[in-house]
Amino acid sequence: MTIRPLADRIVIKMVEAEETTKGGIILAGSAKEKPQVAEVIAVGPGGMVDGKEVKMELKVGDKVLISKYAGTEVKVDGEEVTILRQGDVLAVVE
C-alpha cells in the first residue's frame, strides 16, 4: 500500500534512537526518548489550505526535526509512519 498525502501534509518515518549513551551505557527500551528526527518519505502537492496558498518546501529524503507529539501515527504494511502538516515541522536537519 502506498500513502499519498493531500494538501500540505507530509509522511515521515522516525529515525531510530541511539541505544547507547555517549558514555557507553546501553539503554533499556523504556529509557529511550521518543526520537524527534525523522525522514520525509512522501510530500503532498501543497495548494490552497485554509484560504492561503501553501508552497511545499520539503522534499522526499529530507531529515526533519519535529515536536515529540506532532502528527498522527499510522501503520502501513507493518511499518509505523507519521502524517503531519508541513507547518508542524520545526526545522530541516542538514
Q: What is the pLDDT of residues 39-78, one digit of tens each?
A: 999 999 999 988 999 999 999 999 999 998 899 999 999 9
Q: What is the pLDDT of residues 81-94, one digit of tens each?
A: 999 999 999 999 99
Domains of the chain by start residue, with CATH: 9-17+26-93 (2.30.33.40)
What's the average model confidence in pLDDT over 1-22? 84
Whole-angstrom Cα distance, residue 43 to residue 38? 13
Dihedrals phi, psi of 56, to nearest 5 degrees: -75, 120
What's the average model confidence in pLDDT over 2-12? 95
pLDDT, residue 31, reads: 47
